[in-house]
Amino acid sequence: MNADAVSEVAEQNRGNSPRAALLGPYPAEPGKFRNGVESVVSALADGLAEHGVEVFVVTADPDIKKEMRSKTPSGVNVLRLPVYGKLGNLTGFAMDVKPIRAALDEIRPDIVHIHKILIYAKAAMIPRWKSVLTVHGIHFREAALQRGWAGVRARFACRYEREALRKARHVICLNRYAVETCGGWLKAPDVRLIDNPIDDGFFDVSIEEEQPGTILFGGSITRRKNVLGLLGALDILAKDYPEIRLKIAGKAADEAYYQRCLDFVAGHGLQENVEFLGSLSVDAMASELGRACMLVLPSRQESAPVIISEAMAAGKPVVATAAGGTAEMVEDGVSGFVTPINDAPALASAIGKLMNDADLRRKMGQAGKKCAESRFRRSVVVEKTIALYRDVIGEQ
């Protein structure tokens, strides 16, 4: 589809439906996500299209050399733009802002929904377009946990985070934690709490496939996700539960940290208890959740982890640390357990309680699923989002 074709599609379908441009990470292949925000943008785009919204996704893709256009089976128009700026946020995305703005001029959206605070906010948060900003992560909190060059870039990104939060007039926060944490910079007159949507397929996961003793971790293998802390808890548990099995699903985003994890596994004789699965597709993750007896997320910093929403939808109890907004997702003692950050004995104790009690696992899983139905199902999130769009579009 060429540039003229995109404009033609937009004009033919104009009607009374709002035209929304979603800016953010988007999967190169359906169902294969590099991060949680990709899965959110994909689910939201499909849901909006199903509800009659004319949807365009504009995404900056570091893996392509030239512009690519496509249309999904759900009717979402996708425009992939190459990322030219080698130094990214260190140069203010100087080479990448212009093509994003050109794409928006071409699309002529009624509303722009920004899903990443850096490059996309820099490009679109100008008076030319009415916009909504979703705060997916808290950069200044995450930057404190990064090292080396990645840490330098992350700390530099905090400048753009503050700038975007100060400029935004309409903001979606995923929880009160985000509102309170960003409170000093958040100047928007309109701030709404709307959860991330997830793929509806997670609600169909069968708990009958559960394999007792199997624990699942989902997320990138990084210091922020604290995989070493989980391995420390596993080392404690393995003494009483020699058959316990931990499956780690996620990309090794930090090779040095990943090697430390491998060294810990080997050094503590846990080779038979730990399996690194790598990145999984949506279907593969759903299957792993079906086999797991619980999800464990031992992070040092989080906002609203999509994997927790998916596990709750699948009817699985969750053991998580009190990092960021996780305690607003997992109700301690009801849908799982919330433990102190970086406390391996406490994490092991919570896991052990669920290992020993199948009825408790089922009860907590059911409570989590009920919560997920009312908060994370795609149609619920889409309806709230469309209501916000209409308010913003109608604003004088």
Q: What is the pLDDT of residues 42-57, one digit of tens each?
A: 999 999 999 999 999 9
CA–CA gap between residue 316 and residue 314 (Å, rounded) = 6
Q: Do domains 3-197+377-393 and 200-375 have the same CATH topology?
A: yes
CATH number of 200-375: 3.40.50.2000
Q: What is the pLDDT of residues 172-219, one digit of tens each?
A: 999 999 999 988 889 899 999 999 999 999 999 998 899 999 999 999
CA–CA gap between residue 247 and residue 293 (Å, rounded) = 11
pTM: 0.91
Q: Does domain 3-197+377-393 have CATH number 3.30.365.10?
A: no
CA–CA gap between residue 23 and residue 100 (Å, rounded) = 9
Number of C-beta neighbours around residue 66 at 10 A: 7
Q: What is the pLDDT of residues 330-377, one digit of tens each?
A: 999 999 999 999 999 999 999 999 999 999 999 999 999 999 999 999
Reported as a pLDDT band with limits 50, 70 and 90, residue 138 is confident
CA–CA gap between residue 162 and residue 117 (Å, rounded) = 9
Among 125, 120, 10, 32, smallest CA distance to 76 is for: 10
Give the SS3 label for residue 101: helix
Residue type, 93: F
Q: Can you give the residue ranges of every domain in the chain?
A: 3-197+377-393, 200-375
Looking at residues 276-282, what average pLDDT do you find? 96
11 vs 17, 107, 242, 290, 348, CA distance in Å?
11, 9, 63, 44, 58
Is the Cβ–Cβ distance between 302 and 225 less than 8 Å? Answer: no
